[in-house]
A and B are shown apart, each in its own frame.
Chain A
Amino acid sequence: MKTGKSGLIQGGILAALGLAALLSLVIPQLLRERKDPQLLSLSVLLRDSDSSGWAIARQGMEQAADELGAELRFLTLAEAGDSGEQEAVLLREIDGGAAALVVVPADPGALSAALEQWRLICPAVTLESPMEGAAGTVAPDNALLGRQLAQALLEDWDEGEVLLLDTAGSCTGISGRLEAAEAVLTEAGLPVRRAGELPEGARWVMAFESAATLRTAERREAEGRDFALYGVGAATAVTAQLERGNIAAMAAWSDYAAGYLAVRRAVGAARGEEGTATALPFSVLRKEDIYAPENQKLLFPVMSSSGR
Chain B
Amino acid sequence: MSFFRTLAAKFGERYRRMSIQMVLSLSFTAVAAAGMLLMSVSLIWRFSSASEQLVAENSRRVLAQANLNLDSYLRRMMRISDTVYYRSIKNMDLAEGDLTAPLGLLYEENRDDLVSLAVFDGEGGLVAAVPLSAVKGDAAPVESDWFQAASRSMENLHFSTPHVQNIFDDPDYPYRWVVSLSRHVQLTRDGSTEGGVLLVDMSFNGIEQVCRDVTLEGGGYLYLIDKDGELIYHPRQQLIYAGLLEENNREAASYRDGSRLERFRGQSRQVTVKTVGYTGWKLVGVAPAGSWLASSPQPMLFGLTLLLFSIFLMAFLNFLISARISDPILRLERSIRELDKGLANVEIEEGGCYEVQRLSHAVASMVSTMRHLMDDIIRQEGQKRRSELEVLQSQINPHFLYNTLDSVIWMTESGQQKEAILMVTSLARLFRIALSKGKSIIPLRDELEHARHYMNIQQIRFKNKFVTRIEARPGTEELYTLKLIIQPILENAVYHGCASAEDDGVIRVTAYREGEDLLIDVEDNGLGMRPELAASLLDEDGPQVRTGGSGIGVRNVHQRISLTFGEGYGLSIFSEPDEGTLVRLRLPALSREEANRCQEGEVL
Contact = CB atoms under 8 A, between A and B. Distances in A.
Interface of A: 2-3, 6, 9-10, 13-14, 17-18, 20-21, 24-25, 27-28, 31-32, 59-60, 63, 236-237, 239-240, 243-244, 254, 256-257, 260-261, 281, 290-291, 293, 296-304, 306-308
Helix, strand, loop or mixed for chain A's interface? Answer: helix
Given A14-B315, A256-B238, A302-B238, A21 B173 contact: no
Nearest to A1: B19
B242 A9 contact: no
B249 interface: no
B305 A260 contact: no
Contact of A10 (B25, B163, B174, B311): B25
A236 B173 CA distance: 8
B541 to A, nearest CB: 47
A281 B243 contact: yes
Interface stretch (B52-60, B296-304, B481-489, B559-567): B296-304
Given A298-B241, A300-B175, A303-B238, 4 more contacts: A3-B19, A236-B175, A260-B239, A297-B238
Given A60-B238, A257-B244, A302-B162, A24 B301 contact: yes
A17 B311 contact: yes
A254 B242 contact: yes
B308 interface: yes
A13 B174 contact: no
Helix, strand, loop or mixed for chain B's interface? Answer: helix
Contact of B173 (A9, A63, A240): A240
A32 B355 CA distance: 54
B334 to A, nearest CB: 10
A17 B308 contact: yes
A35 to B, nearest CB: 8
B319 interface: yes
Contacts of B21: 3, 6
Between A6, A239, A243, the greatest number of chain B beta carbons within 10 A of the residue's beta carbon is seen for: A6
Contacts of B205: 304
Contacts of A290: 166
B312 A17 contact: yes
A41 B312 CA distance: 46
Given A21-B309, A240-B173, A9 B301 contact: no
B208 interface: yes
A291 B243 contact: no
Contact of B242 (A6, A27, A260): A260
Contact of A31 (B243, B297, B311): B297
Interface in B199-232: 204-205, 208-209
Contacts of B239: 63, 257, 260
B316 A14 contact: yes
Contacts of A308: 174
B243 to A, nearest CB: 7
Contact of B204 (A239, A297, A298, A302): A302
Nearest to A24: B305
B176 interface: yes
Contacts of B304: 24
A239 B175 contact: yes
18 contacts: A6-B19, A6-B25, A17-B311, A21-B312, A24-B305, A25-B301, A25-B305, A31-B301, A59-B238, A63-B238, A240-B173, A260-B239, A298-B241, A300-B164, A300-B177, A302-B241, A304-B205, A308-B174
Size bin of chain B's contact surface: 35 or more
A296 B161 CA distance: 12
Interface in B280-306: 297-298, 301-302, 304-305
A77 to B, nearest CB: 27
Given A13-B29, A257-B243, A302 B237 contact: yes
Contacts of B164: 291, 296, 300, 307
Interface in B151-193: 162-164, 166, 173-177
Nearest to B303: A24
Contact of A6 (B22, B173, B241): B22
B325 to A, nearest CB: 13
Contact of B308 (A20, A237, A293): A20
Contacts of A237: 173
Contact of A306 (B19, B176, B301, B316): B176
Given A24-B304, A307-B177, A261 B244 contact: yes
Nearest to B232: A302
A300 B166 CA distance: 12
B205 to A, nearest CB: 5
A196 to B, nearest CB: 29
B311 A9 contact: no
A101 B199 CA distance: 47
B330 interface: yes
A242 B166 CA distance: 14
Interface in B502-535: none
B308 A21 contact: yes
Contacts of A240: 173, 175
Contact of B297 (A18, A20, A28, A304): A28
Contacts of A9: 22
Contacts of B241: 254, 297-298, 301-302
A239 B172 CA distance: 12
A98 B25 CA distance: 59
Contact of B330 (A3, A60, A306): A3
A13 B244 contact: no
In the A-B complex, the 7 residue pairs with the smallest Cβ-Cβ separation, listed nearest first, are A297-B241, A240-B173, A257-B242, A307-B174, A21-B308, A17-B312, A307-B175
B330 to A, nearest CB: 6
Contacts of A261: 244
Interface string B369-411: 0000000000000000000000000000000000000000000
A183 B164 CA distance: 37
Given A2-B19, A10-B25, A24-B304, A296 B163 contact: yes
Nearest to B17: A2
Given A3-B21, A240-B173, A307-B174, A301 B319 contact: no
Given A10-B319, A14-B312, A21-B305, A307 B22 contact: no
